[in-house]
Amino acid sequence: MNRRINKLSKYIDTLNEERKPKEHENKKESPEMEELFETVRQVRSLKDPKLPEEDYAEKLTTVVKSGQSKKKTKRTSKRTRYVGLAAVAAVLVFIIVLNTVGPFARPNIVQAMEQAFLQIGAYHGIVEVIETNAEGESVTQTKVEVWADKEGRYYVKGIEGWQKDLVTANDGETKWQIRHDDKEVKLFSAFPDPYGFTFEIGQEIEDAKKAEKVEILGDDVIAG
């Protein structure tokens, strides 16, 4: 009972702060709590909405146009590579997440990534994680071939680094791993598997959305 009372109070606080409550992301509440949340929203609807900053329309236009140009990129490259998966196109922007604490700073590039990612159903490509030290020396930490869809299913094959020759797959029902030399299949439950593999684009975008600052190092197109 106390848990529900406190949860409802926190929900009201979050809306009062004009932030998205976590309950809107994870709709696993009891019907009773859902009804109470709905009632809070209904009462709040008596108030005038809190409008965005003055430059919202301008920012919106930029992001919408950016979303359109990403779609054009997808259409022109469709004829060429990767036939296997349903809709395979993503703009992959390499970023450095300098601080993952602040939830508010969301530069346009992150929004553009988010919008580009919304347009696709699945993607395929080689993901390389490179660490660069203060002296500018770069070392490849891992390199993997990835086939992934947005339902959380994926196939990842290690090419370089500690995952070399390790194949991990998750079809939403079961997760299994095979290492070529071991001749042994290891089975795991598909869930929980909150961070399926290193640099899953959707997860990276979610992390970047929470970042205080991001820096663009370059861009590449994973097309299909």
Partner 1 sequence: MTEVEENKKVEGVMTIEELCREYWEPLYRFVYYKVQNREEAEDITQETFVKAISYIQENRTKVENVIGFLKTVALNVLRDRWRKYKRRGNTGNLDDISQGYAAVNDYSESTVQRDLILHALSKLNEKQKSCIELRILQGYTVPETAQMMGISEGNVRVLQYRALQRLSKILKSDDVD
Centre a 10 Å sphere on the Cβ of residue 117 and count the other Cβ atoms it contains.
20
Binding-site member from 45, 80, 133, 138 for partner 1 (CB under 8 A): 45
Measured on CA atoms in the order 61, 97, 151, 158, is the torsion positive or negative?
Answer: positive
**Peptide bond connecting 192 to the previous residue in cis, omega within 30 degrees of 0:** yes
Interaction pattern, residues 55-74, with partner 1; x per rule: CB under 8 A:
-xx--xx-xxx-xx--x---
107 belongs to the binding site for partner 1 (CB under 8 A): no
Size of the site for partner 1 (CB under 8 A): 54
Asked if 136 and 102 touch (Cβ cutoff 8 Å), the reply is no
- The interface mask with partner 1, positions 118-137, x = CB under 8 A, is xx-x----------------
Q: Does 174 bind partner 1 (CB under 8 A)?
A: no
Fill in the per-residue mask, 2 to 41: x = in contact with partner 1 (CB under 8 A), - = not in contact. Answer: --xxx-xx--xxxxxxxxxx--xxxxx------xx-xxxx
Consecutive H or E run containing 9: helix 2-16
170 scored as a contact of partner 1 (CB under 8 A):
no
Residue written as tokens 């993901």?
Answer: 127
Half-sphere exposure for 70 (CA within 13 Å, toward CB): 27
Element (H, E) at 218: strand 213-222
Sites of contact with partner 1 (CB under 8 A): 4-6, 8-9, 12-21, 24-28, 35-36, 38-47, 49-52, 56-57, 60-61, 63-65, 67-68, 71, 111, 115, 118-119, 121, 151-152, 172
